[in-house]
A and B are shown apart, each in its own frame.
Chain A
Amino acid sequence: MARADEPKIAASSASVSLSPLAINVLWLLVTGFLVIVMQAGFAMVETGLTRSKNVTHTMTMTVAAFALSALAFFAVGFALMYGGAAGDVTGSHGPAPHEVSFRVADHDAGLFGFSGFFLAAPGADGALLAVFFSQAVLVVVAATIPTGAMAERWKFRAFVYFVVFMAAIVYPVFGNWVWGGGWLAQLSLGRGFVDFAGSSVIHLVGGIAAVAGCRVLGPRIGKYNRDGSLNVLLPHSVPLYMAGTMILTFGWFGLIAGRAVVANDLIVGRVATNALVASAAGAVAAMIYMWTLYKKPDPSFICNGLLAGLVAISAPCAFVTPLAAVVIGLIAGVLVVWSVLFLERATRLDDPVGAISIHGINGAWGVLALGLFADGSYREVTGLFHGGGSQLAAQVIGLVACVVWTFIMCWLFFQIVGIFVGNRVGPTTELQGLDVPELGVVGYFNEDPAAAKGSTSRAFAEPRAAAAPPPASENRFSIVIEGTDAATVKVIWNELCQPSDRPSDPDFVAVYPLMTLIKGNRFRFRGGQPDDVRARMERLVSKRLPEKAIRARIET
């Protein structure tokens, strides 16, 4: 049975000369590298939109998600998703060769692959590994999405288990159904369930996982008042989430263009253009909508709208006209605002970065939009508006399957983790901020001025209860200068204190460190030999007033 995702790479590797294959491998790798950049964007957006006391925790989650999910997908996920045979790029129609499937209506409906664990697949050559690489970076994106929605209260240990589970089981199995030749791709409706660049496989899976996670964790402390009214927990860094949004957008074009699988497929141009106009439309729609509704164009929603447009266009980007892409983006921009407001107010799902609305709601919208707007020009995928109602039916089935599978799996997993580890940090940790209790490092470290001078080794005494300062070890005494008025003495002393090119008077150098302060013509000293200091002071003053009989006397 013909599928929407047609074979590409292996076909070219088998029958064509080597150079197109090399180009294709290069294309998969370069676009995959771009997807890695998205991880920086995620880290910045999520951290910028949350509070400064959780900076380390939120950022570490995105970096750790990268590492953990890449390994989990390598060990288990890829085998489940493609049966070790690169699925939609193997060149074989129908389920992957090592597919666990059931027979329905006379054809195999694949459930998951079961070969190639740890990439130990026969024939795992460079081309196959390039496919693995381009897929592994997508898993990372999906696994990172819940970290934003669940930020500021998720126990790090629980997060580690979850990300591994997500990348090893949840994502790959649904991915198999859609991109691995599984039962959704084999649907007899339309061209089967179609998702070009992951509105469902990446974003809806991530968004639904975030819904389950938020439900389990509950809202952050202080988000809701006792009477149910909302509080604003302000984001701590606007520059961070703004820059992060643009970095995420940049990487996104790698994700979308990379799903075209081959560089010499000219659909890449349509894909990139549609993603551009849809994201722009999403940002503009969110901006104008907030502007008219609440008097000011909320900057965080402009960012959310941009990303919502990208999520929504991910599935249909190869199948719709640019004009349809704009419409899809505009709807996505409004949808993300509605969704955030609705989720916060009606469902009490506390999603600090809007991940559920961006990835979940708009992932669903993208899947449906394909069923509505596909114009039949690419792989004969035709939507409702172009006379293909059955494609929309396939999209609805895929959407429901994605939501049900992901939510049930994640919900169950959170329950199990909740029993053994606990999903949420304690209230003390949450109020203090997760950085130090969970990870031991403050995110923004203001250097102690004393430490900057390198004097951290000094040990400070333990405080004691005292009514008066302890007796000083040094002697204290005063020297009174007589024979002239106090003002003159002060002028002389001030001149001595001025910085000068000439070497200071040795008497001044000797007495200065001992001097505490001056009252009139009375100099107070701490430490030193009173007689010596007296003699030096007398010499200092009389040298400068030779015409006067200066006398210094000690007063204790």
Chain B
Amino acid sequence: MKMIVAIIRPEKLEDVQAALNERDVYLMTVSEVRGCGRQRGYAEMYRGTEYKTRLLPKLKIEIAVNDAFVDATMEAIVHAARAGSTGQVGDGKIFVFPLEDCVRIRTGEEGPEAIGP
């Protein structure tokens, strides 16, 4: 079992979700987060004075998957989350963690079965 955490552009959520569903990955948790990469935000102007937006709005998707789904999940996210045809700075990142255990609260199931499709 792996926990896949992906940081994506907010406007890419629908594409990513569709791509994941195509690979039979349906369960996910999405949260609104803020973050920055190497560019550390961008500069804007308010009433003639420049200000820096250091943290940009992003979405964090958390997906627990069984080992067989790891590659398919990462592939789906990578392709769906890219901006434009070439991808752009700020498209996001994917992190993969080993997942020790999982319990479905309702049935008490534990382990890979609890993750489900």
Interface band, chain A:
20 to 34
What's the Cα separation between A164 and B46 when bound, in Å? Answer: 35
Residues of B within 8 A of A290 (CB): 48
B108 within 8 A of A: yes
Please state if B47 and A298 are interface contacts (CB–CB under 8 Å): yes
Given the known interface contacts A234-B51, A490-B113, the answer about A298 and B46 at a Cβ–Cβ threshold of 8 Å is yes
A295 within 8 A of B: yes
Please state if A516 and B46 are interface contacts (CB–CB under 8 Å): no
**B88-117 with Cβ < 8 A to chain A:** 103, 106-111, 113
Which residue from chain A places its CB closest to the CB of B50 in the assembled complex?
Answer: A232
B45 within 8 A of A: yes
Please state if B48 and A293 are interface contacts (CB–CB under 8 Å): yes
B49 within 8 A of A: yes
Please state if B47 and A232 are interface contacts (CB–CB under 8 Å): yes
Min CB distance A431 to B, Å, is: 19
Which residue from chain A places its CB closest to the CB of B48 in the assembled complex?
Answer: A341
Please state if B107 and A497 are interface contacts (CB–CB under 8 Å): yes
Interface flags for B25-56 (1: CB within 8 Å of A; 0: not) read: 00000000000000000000111111100000
Residues of B within 8 A of A300 (CB): 46-47
Residues of B within 8 A of A234 (CB): 46, 51
Given the known interface contacts A234-B46, A296-B45, A490-B113, the answer about A516 and B51 at a Cβ–Cβ threshold of 8 Å is no
Residue of B51, B103, B107, B111 with most chain A CB atoms under a 10 A cut-off: B107
What's the Cα separation between A430 and B111 when bound, in Å? Answer: 51
Interface flags for A274-302 (1: CB within 8 Å of B; 0: not) read: 00000000000000001001111010110
Given the known interface contacts A231-B51, A232-B51, the answer about A493 and B107 at a Cβ–Cβ threshold of 8 Å is yes
Please state if A230 and B49 are interface contacts (CB–CB under 8 Å): yes
Please state if B48 and A494 are interface contacts (CB–CB under 8 Å): no
Please state if B107 and A232 are interface contacts (CB–CB under 8 Å): no
What's the Cα separation between A453 and B29 when bound, in Å? Answer: 23
Checking B48, B107, B110 against A519 with a beta-carbon cut-off of 8 angstroms, the contacting residue is: B110
Min CB distance B92 to A, Å, is: 25
Which residue from chain A places its CB closest to the CB of B46 in the assembled complex?
Answer: A232
Please state if B49 and A494 are interface contacts (CB–CB under 8 Å): no
Which residue from chain B places its CB closest to the CB of A296 in the assembled complex?
Answer: B45
Min CB distance B10 to A, Å, is: 18
Checking A298, A341, A517 against B110 with a beta-carbon cut-off of 8 angstroms, the contacting residue is: A517
Interface flags for A490-506 (1: CB within 8 Å of B; 0: not) read: 10011001000000000
What's the Cα separation between A284 and B108 when bound, in Å? Answer: 65
Interface flags for A207-242 (1: CB within 8 Å of B; 0: not) read: 000000000000000000000001110110000000
Please state if A515 and B46 are interface contacts (CB–CB under 8 Å): no
Min CB distance A479 to B, Å, is: 12
Min CB distance A358 to B, Å, is: 13
Please provide the 9 A-B residue pairs with the shortest distance between their CB atoms, ordered closest to farther: A232-B51, A517-B108, A497-B107, A232-B46, A518-B108, A230-B49, A515-B108, A517-B110, A341-B48
